[in-house]
Copies of this chain bind each other. A is one copy, B any other.
Amino acid sequence: MRIPRSHPRYVSLKTRESLVAANREGVVVLEGLIAHGRGEAWDYLLGEETSAPALVAEKAAAAFLLAAKNPVISVNGNVAALATRQVARLAAAIPAKVEVNLFHRTDARVRQITRLLQNAGVKDVLGPRPNARIPGLASQRARTHRAGTYSADVVLVPLEDGDRAEALTKMGKVVISVDLNPLSRTTQAAAVPIVDELTRALTEVERFVRDLKRDRPEAARVRREYDRARNLAAVFGFLRWRLAGLVTTTKKPRPRQTKR
């Protein structure tokens, strides 16, 4: 089906199309399509724009990534399908390593996503042959790279699953999540939870990285003053305000009565 550019849901429908295509190519798993749907609903509720609280978290994320000794960006199937370009730009700006981490891990998928990232310009992809394990996770999901996530002090985990986000937090890392669900276990586990759509979030974090690189005192101030509990409360406040505005005022004709 051709979607006209004028369609009010154009961006959302095109994104959906590319995920469906990425599933056919083996990059995105079926569970990834369902997960994307959940994100769509939250983003719809959020107004499909970066909220003020999300922007605050994105600035904090940039500040923590800039101060890291070994920052790592984690990439799974959905991230690869939606944002290789944004990942490449952000990794170059920080600079950070990029590691492929798949919930449904197969060697073929790791190789394919590694290739997608390289094609997008990521220099240093940690993909095949993981050589370390994250404690407390089941077999395939624990696999990681010693030089990457395993030894990272700050990890950016977009669209991460809750178990993994919790395990990384337990390892003492500063976990930065990108997840549209403000109630998810990932959001709850992260030290810096970003409640925003993936491509918007990565673009904003990159912009803040470039800004804060030139203003180290401001970066230090942001790290000092960022308050995750207050930030999440602001996210919920924003959602409640959105819902209040969305109450429909449409009046429809009453259903006609029919007699049997």
Contacts and interface: CB of A to CB of B under 8 A. Distances in A.
Contacts of A246: 183, 236
A229 B247 contact: no
A contact residues, range: 35 or more
A52 interface: no
The A interface is mostly helix, strand or loop, or mixed, namely helix
A64 B42 CA distance: 33
Given A37-B37, A258-B69, A236 B243 contact: yes
Interface of A: 16, 19-20, 23, 30-31, 33-42, 44-45, 64, 66-69, 153-154, 172, 174, 181, 183, 188, 191-192, 223-224, 226-229, 232-233, 236-237, 239-240, 243-244, 246-248, 250-260
18 contacts: A19-B34, A20-B30, A33-B33, A34-B37, A37-B37, A37-B40, A67-B258, A174-B255, A174-B256, A191-B252, A226-B255, A227-B254, A229-B248, A229-B250, A236-B243, A237-B247, A240-B244, A243-B243
